[in-house]
Amino acid sequence: VISQYIGRQERIRAGEAATQLLTASVLFSIIISIVVLFTNVSLMRLMFGRVEDDVMDDCVTYLRISAYSYPALAIYNAGAALYRSFGRTSTTMYLSITANVINVIGNCMGVFILHAGVAGVAWPSLISRVFSAAVITILCFSGKNPMRYRKAWLFRLDGGLQKRILRIAVPSGVESGIFQLVKVALSSVVTLFGTYQIAANGVAQSIWSMASLVSVAMGPAFITVIGQCMGGGAIGQAELYFKRLMKITLVFAIIWNALIFVATPVLLSFYALAEETKRLTILLVLIHNIFSAIAFSFADPLGKGLRAAGDVRFTTAVSLFTTIGVRLIFSVFFGITLNMGVMGIAWAMCLDWSIRGIIFILRQKSGKWKAFQVI
């Protein structure tokens, strides 16, 4: 929404939209915090069933402290969205690095010096999120920005703007929520396999996160560029940038994933793993990085570009279908029925990306995204 107003050169309206985003984010996050604080034990039982009492106590402690930070996290994300919409991503990067340094130092103090257990990990996360929220909010009120928060807009709701924001936010939020639930379900499936497979999967996921950085980082670029083009009515430019951004994403994703795979043996040297576990981890990283370089480049950033153009319902429906109908179902089929273990889950993930990427490519080429209006 903000990017499209910027593209239309309506900077005051863009600032108002950003302020409305902040207001909505705070309200919804407070509601979620209250729900979690009052239902934390029930939520944990629902998702993970019966676990040992001391484990459950630690889980509830972390969840409760984490719930206090949800409004701060919402405030930071709203401010970060504003900065990304006009292309100043370096600001959010430096702020994120600083917050993570605070978090890591706090974790070390909480665990090794104060011996506070899980609370020693949770409180630094809360502190770092509050720090990020405070700094980004101060920056977003700065008159040096192309558009900024306005105090007069903070305490009133604009029905039209809220409708535009929620029309994009709600489907995306549902998609993200379903994805997280599927991850929880798959983590339960992984526990059915042998110990070495569980260890290999855990280590591989850490490396997968690094391997996916290029495609994940290009997502905001698609949102900013395509959103501004569509807001300005430059549909031809949007189509041109779709192609250019995809080429950039593919080239750098292939190079980056190859480098991460080459570095995998070195990364594994930091873990105390048996040879069997190392071999499985390397194989998991190989499979992931091949599909991450190609399929995920279309499945994630291209999807964000389509959303920026206003094609939200279609992209959300496709993502939900592939997450549940492909990733979840085929993880169970490959992993349990065919006895492929964590390899089956990895293949199901790659199948999810491949199908989603193909559908998004066809959607982009069809030009149907050109007919949507966000503002």
CB 357 within 8 A of CB 302: yes
pLDDT one-digit tens code per residue, 335-373:
999 999 999 999 999 999 999 999 999 999 999 999 887
Maximum mean pLDDT: which of 5-19, 35-49, 110-124: 110-124
pLDDT one-digit tens code per residue, 167-187:
888 888 888 889 988 988 898
Task: Give the C-alpha distances (Å, rounded to integers) separating 254 from 209, 244, 295.
Answer: 15, 16, 11
CA atoms within 13 A on the CB side of 304: 20
Rounded to two decimals, what is the model's pTM?
0.83
pLDDT one-digit tens code per residue, 273-312:
899 999 999 999 999 999 999 999 999 999 999 999 999 9
Sequence-distant (6+) residues with CB within 8 A of 193 are: 201, 335, 341, 342
- Kind and range of the H or E run holding 338: none
